[in-house]
Amino acid sequence: MLASAAGGAQAGDVAAVASTWVAADASLSRPGVAHDAPGSPGNAVRTAASAPSDPATVRDGKKRKPEAGRTGQVLGLSWLPAFCEIKARRPECVGQTSGRTDATELTLAGLWPVRNSFCKVSDALQVQDRRHDWLALPAVPLSADVGARLASAMPGVASGLDRHLWLRSGSCQLLEPEAYFSLQIRLLEAVNRSAVGALFRSRIGQEIRESEVRAAFDTDFAVGAGERVRLQCRKIGDRTLVTGLTVGLSPTMTDASDFAAAILGAAPIASRCSVGLVDAAGQPSAPRPAGAGAAAGKAGSREGTGKTGSETTGTEEDPGDDASDAAIGRP
């Protein structure tokens, strides 16, 4: 189970996405437990009641959608071909072809708390993180098996995304790195094995509607789960590319077997992108629109890098901040 640890959030943190989830439930809890990062050996997993095992409310013999809960965490999943069209020189994009698994399945962007970031992480490490030289950050202590599985599930490991994610978000929950990343891998696998993964694979090179994605979550996870899912898109020229999706989760989760209940324990989220193209691998790099640099300088981002083009949402590690150079999610 994940639980947030108290810590100082960086100013301007995750404005576009996290603020939306917080607005959906302003009463999010902030447990007062923290630990050092990365890989603090004293971390313990908190025990708390999980969401009801029966995801649907039954009344008069009929299943009804669950009542709104509260969102404490967000799972971010990426569609890498879209990111690689925009950032073709990133290590995870070099040599990507249609035959690679990450060209036909959703990949892992991360799992992060809605409010907190960089809990008990030194100022020096935070400054180093903001330079985006993530491979220079401390390595995350993982077993060889989990490390290999993570590298496959999260192509951004090639750019140090796992190190950034652990410092930024892993430091604000109570799982050891091994358990933290193993849980994310299992959640990703559950989505890719489901009707959601099948839908994405069937639409490569075609458009997909958020309503279809939400319906697939309802079908394979629980009635009402789709209302906690948001399609992430990026506008490039006259095309709207799907960069991935986010899934709201309740503040605590026991393990991957609680996935459906954890989704239903979150608050519903409004749509931002109703339809977009499921990009195929191998597309040419998207050109930077004229004047994008100046516009981006104003729009800006907490990472200090301008945005390219216009978009409905953002990047691999921050749905609301595409300056992070990775494809969706907010680690």
Angstrom distances, CA of residue 86 to CA of 64, 243, 275, 287: 42, 10, 19, 8
pLDDT at 35: 34
Does residue 59 lie in a domain region?
no
Handedness of CA 247, 53, 175, 26 (dihedral sign): positive
Does residue 153 lie in a domain region?
yes
Helix axes 161-168, 177-193, angle to 10 degrees: 110
pLDDT at 18: 39
Handedness of CA 313, 247, 39, 135 (dihedral sign): negative
Six-digit token string for 251 = 């503040």
Does residue 12 lie in a domain region?
no
pLDDT at 69: 81
Does residue 60 lie in a domain region?
no
pLDDT at 257: 86
pLDDT at 305: 29
* HEC letters along 150-186: HHHHCHHHHHCHHHHHHHHCHHHECCCHHHHHHHHHH
Give pLDDT < 50 ranges for the chain.
Answer: 1, 4-64, 288-331
Range of the domain at 142: 67-324
> What mean pLDDT is reported for the chain?
75
At position 240, the amino acid (one-letter code) is: T
Q: Are 259 and 187 in contact (CB under 8 A)?
A: yes
Is the bond into 331 cis (omega within 30 degrees of 0)? no
pLDDT at 247: 98
Does residue 45 lie in a domain region?
no
Query: How many domains does the chain fold into?
Result: 1
Threshold 0.95, pTM exceeds: no
Angstrom distances, CA of residue 243 to CA of 232, 312, 320: 6, 10, 12
293-312: b or e for each residue (b if 16 or more CB lie within 10 Å)? eebbeeeebbbebbbbbebb
Does residue 27 lie in a domain region?
no
Q: What is the CATH number of the domain that holds 272?
A: 3.90.730.10
Report helix, strand or coil for 293.
helix
Q: How far apart are CA 93 and CA 85, in angstroms?
A: 9
Does residue 21 lie in a domain region?
no
pLDDT at 78: 97
Does residue 2 lie in a domain region?
no
